[in-house]
Amino acid sequence: MLLLITGTSKGIGFELLKQLASDENNTIIAVSRKSDSVLKLKKQYGFTNIIPVSADITKTGGRKKIADIVKKQKQPLAILVNNAGQIVNKPFEKINARELTEVYQTNVFSPFLLIQALLPFMGNKHKSHIVNISSMGGFQGTAKFPGLSAYSSSKAAITGLTECLAEEFKPKNIVVNCLAIGAVQTEMLTKAFPGYKAPLQPSEMASFIGNFILTGHQYFNGKIIPVSSTTP
């Protein structure tokens, strides 16, 4: 099975990669801006089924590089996990246009354009599952926090995109779901809530996500699923 995960250099993406690579039946294209940690993981555990890709998904050239590598595998892309994310924690009135654009570029525009680039390798005869990683901050009706207007609104946008694509891709045999992640002890959480200690570690959340991306398409389509034991 061919899988592609973005944002694999650290946090949940890194742990997800490690867990999925333990199954030799999986071939995983691991995308991150810097692949040092992925290369180290591959060497440490002797994983031969990880394909590290250093690429910036916010750039046209980066997305083309990823698509070219998928094409070379000569097998359908069964699973795409849009996990890469970016955050800015600032009062609303102090967020400038560059910061706002960068957050939306990583969290919304890049997944949108990456899905477009990879669409020819997904679905039809072989069912594919796209899983977008959002946040409880982007889940309607949840508590919102000062300083996270750019991040939370971008995550709300990816949830809306999920619902749109799930409907549009039905004839293509592609299922699209979204996981709205709660508090996990990651670098991004520390930026959002300095000093806060989350109840879950990245490896624990990765276990849930790993099971969901492999089986969730059998039960869900177009669903925004909150995955949280607590919201800070």
Which is it for the CA torsion 205, 175, 80, 111, positive or negative? negative
Tell me how far apart the alpha carbons of residues 94 and 201 are, in angstroms, rounded to a whole number.
31
pLDDT in tens, 203-216: 999 999 999 999 99
Question: Residue 157: its pLDDT value, please?
Answer: 97
DSSP-H helix ranges across 110-216: 110-118, 149-168, 187-192, 202-215
Q: Which of 25, 39, 121, 117 is nearest to 72 (CA)?
A: 121
Q: Does domain 2-227 have CATH number 3.40.50.720?
A: yes
- By residue count, the chain amounts to 232
Q: What is the pLDDT along the chain (232 residues), one digit of tens a residue?
A: 999 999 999 999 999 999 999 999 999 999 999 999 999 999 999 999 999 999 999 999 999 999 999 999 999 999 999 999 999 999 999 999 999 999 999 999 999 999 999 999 999 999 999 999 999 888 887 878 889 999 999 999 999 999 999 999 999 999 999 999 886 767 766 777 787 777 678 899 999 999 999 999 999 999 999 998 766 6
Which is it for the CA torsion 43, 69, 62, 181, positive or negative? negative
Q: Which of 133, 135, 124, 114 is nearest to 29 (CA)?
A: 114
